[in-house]
Structure 1
Amino acid sequence: MRVLKDCDSVNIIDPSELLRPEPAFATKDIGQFRDYSVDENDHVKERVRRTYELMHTNQTVDFVKGKHEKWGKFNHFRCTMREALEKLNELVDESDPDVDIPNIVHAFQTAERIRKDYPEDDWFHLTGLIHDAGKVLAFFDEPQWCVVGDTFVVGCEWSDNIVYRNTSFSKNIDGQNPKYNTKYGIYEPHCGIDNLMLSWGHDEYLYRMLKHNKAKLPSQALSMIRYHSFYPWHSSGDYSHLATKADEQTKHWVLKFNTYDLYTKSTDVPDIEKLWPYYESLIDKYIPGVLQW
């Protein structure tokens, strides 16, 4: 296992951070959000579409199992949470039409807005800061389509509310497999969201990494991290036939978090160096020391 070192800068496209309908505290008009229309002459829209096409073509049950096997050993590198977050300073979301800033700026914007509204819940502040830390996968030869973007369930029929659903799954081999292409697929009715296999990305990776390193964050924080990109479930209401009543409480926390994740991006850059001592104290409290990634 090696120590995380400086790598070449990686510019990755994150369609999961594009175009969402905004809450009251955002600064843009609602009509400017969540536009997944196809326009071959718009390079941003084309990049987003191609990213999802690759994701939806390649994210199969076997692919996801392979990523669990590869990254679930947590023997790829070692670094502190701060070092991982600082690495995100080299990662710019080129597909974001709103701002062109390093991912670490988005992390502090999210955390600081949560801190303003929930001053007593320091674990919530830290969750806002670290929620995208799993994107360090992009520095280890992982293509962008298995690091970022909305997640979905593999192993059963695909939700109608997955972006580009009607055009992007035609080459996914699971669609021709009767084990995987039915309403329930490999799952039992109301088996629970925690028992579903989601497409691979930074959410699931960070969730598993935190569990492996025995992070002291509450279960709500881990759910926010694991499911914040699972839009077909938490925003479209899909997969209710696989969910339990307890999953509604999980959804409550995920939606609360997503308000801050998705709508705090702006050109106002926090004073990160001034904020680091506070957030380092939270890292030391909840996720201390050198971590196995």
Structure 2
Amino acid sequence: MAAEVKHPISMIDPSQLLRPEPTFNDKPIDAFRDYSIDDEDPIKARVRRTYYTMHTNVTVDLVKQKREKWLKFNHFKSTVKDALIKLNELVDESDPDTDLPNIVHAFQTAERIRQDYPDDDWFHLTGLIHDLGKVMALYGEPQWCVVGDTFPVGCRWGQSIVYGDDSFKDNPDTHDPRYNTQYGMYSPHCGLDALLISWSHDEYLYQFLKHNRSTLPEKALYMIRYHSLYPWHAGGDYRHLTNEKDEEILKWVHEFNKYDLYTKSATVPDIQALWPYYEKLIEKYIPGVCEW
């Protein structure tokens, strides 16, 4: 019989209380982000395998190596639209809520935001591109180092991280006294900007947008940078490291997250019909051929 992962009340995602209505489907709130262990279910088994591999291998040293590799932006050149089209080839191995190509989720998120915020075109585009950093997986990066929830490295693992301590038991940093204390290599309330976060599509896209001089507003950049940092924005961990600026960022991330999470469904938008609108937004905020 499959074992069930019990989550403390503190892990309940605050965006559940802000879930936009009407939704694209009738999926119950508690059916999202189901990380219960059932190795006979191929999706649950795939998700668990991805996270265990991630939590075993993502260390301070590995994150530094990935930043050195990817933040040179010398891997390929492409428009944002062409990079988005590449997401047709990607199904996120860490996601228990959908097995559709990632570009479908991109348009689901963007269109739901557009319904509630018709005048905020920057927000529409943020929804469309928020997972675009996952293109790394199409250029040789394993998905466990691209997708999934993120977490700080260099300090004790947060209690609300998916699959908990068991998944980190073979991670070298778990046993390294430099990194396994409450503060680790950080100082109290140093702020999210000072933390080294597990390498993922979030940080890559955030840095990509800065490198290519995107004119998206600051709050859009932080929505992108921290939307997968669930142990912080949903689990309540790492508050001993955050500061006043991060409280403002948290409001932005919560507002974005309810559209990112709860729009996943089997309903596929008419992507071809929507491209002309979003092409104009790309040209406005991230024009031309970009360096990736």
Structure 1 residue runs of 5 or longer lacking an equivalent are: 1-18
- Give the letter aligned to residue 269 of structure 1: V
Q: Please tell me whether residue 195 in structure 1 is matched to residue 194 in structure 2.
A: yes
What corresponds to 1:28 in structure 2?
27
Q: How big is the alpha-carbon RMSD for the aligned residues of Structure 1 and Structure 2?
A: 1.6
Q: Please tell me whether residue 145 in structure 1 is matched to residue 129 in structure 2.
A: no
Secondary structure at 1:92 match in 2:
coil
TM-score between both structures, scaled by the size of structure 2 = 0.90
What corresponds to 1:279 in structure 2?
278
- State the Cα deviation string for residues 1-38 of structure 1 (Å, max 9, x = none): xxxxxxxxxxxxxxxxxx98852443212342222221
Residues 92 and 147 in structure 2, CA contact (< 8 A), matched pair in contact too? no
Residues 32 and 97 in structure 2, CA contact (< 8 A), matched pair in contact too? no
Q: Please tell me whether residue 119 in structure 1 is matched to residue 106 in structure 2.
A: no
Matches within 5 A, 1:14-163: 23=19, 24-26=21-23, 27-93=26-92, 96=95, 98-163=97-162
Q: Please tell me whether residue 289 in structure 1 is matched to residue 288 in structure 2.
A: yes
Q: CA deviation at 1:98?
A: 4.7
Tell me how far apart the structure 2 counterparts of residues 199 and 39 of structure 1 sit (CA, whole Å): 26
Secondary structure at 2:87 match in 1:
helix
Tell me how far apart the structure 2 counterparts of residues 139 and 194 of structure 1 sit (CA, whole Å): 28
Tell me how far apart the structure 2 counterparts of residues 47 and 267 of structure 1 sit (CA, whole Å): 19
Residues 50 and 94 in structure 2, CA contact (< 8 A), matched pair in contact too? no
Q: CA deviation at 1:245?
A: 1.4
Distance 1:71 1:273, change over 3 A: same
Q: CA deviation at 1:94?
A: 5.7
What corresponds to 2:246 in structure 1?
247
Tell me how far apart the structure 2 counterparts of residues 94 and 51 of structure 1 sit (CA, whole Å): 7
What corresponds to 2:236 in structure 1?
237
Tell me how far apart the structure 2 counterparts of residues 144 and 97 of structure 1 sit (CA, whole Å): 14
Residues 104 and 269 in structure 2, CA contact (< 8 A), matched pair in contact too? yes
Secondary structure at 1:280 match in 2:
helix
- State the Cα deviation string for residues 244-267 of structure 1 (Å, max 9, x = none): 012111000001001001111222
- Give the letter aligned to residue 167 of structure 1: D
- Give the letter aligned to residue 50 of structure 1: R
Distance 1:50 1:90, change over 3 A: same
- State the Cα deviation string for residues 220-278 of structure 1 (Å, max 9, x = none): 00001000000000011111111001211100000100100111122222121111111
Q: Percent identity between the aligned chains?
A: 66
Secondary structure at 1:76 match in 2:
coil
- Give the letter aligned to residue 74 of structure 2: N
Tell me how far apart the structure 1 counterparts of residues 97 and 247 of structure 2 sit (CA, whole Å): 31
Q: CA deviation at 1:39?
A: 1.9
Q: CA deviation at 1:44?
A: 1.7
- The number of residue pairs the alignment matches comes to 275
Q: Please tell me whether residue 207 in structure 1 is matched to residue 209 in structure 2.
A: no
What corresponds to 1:9 in structure 2?
none
Q: Please tell me whether residue 176 in structure 1 is matched to residue 175 in structure 2.
A: yes
Distance 1:162 1:94, change over 3 A: closer
Secondary structure at 2:77 match in 1:
strand
Residues 152 and 198 in structure 2, CA contact (< 8 A), matched pair in contact too? yes
Q: CA deviation at 1:96?
A: 4.9
Tell me how far apart the structure 2 counterparts of residues 86 and 40 of structure 1 sit (CA, whole Å): 32
Secondary structure at 2:282 match in 1:
helix
Tell me how far apart the structure 1 counterparts of residues 239 and 94 of structure 2 sit (CA, whole Å): 31
- Give the letter aligned to residue 248 of structure 2: Q
**Range with bigger deviation, 210-219 or 41-50:** 41-50
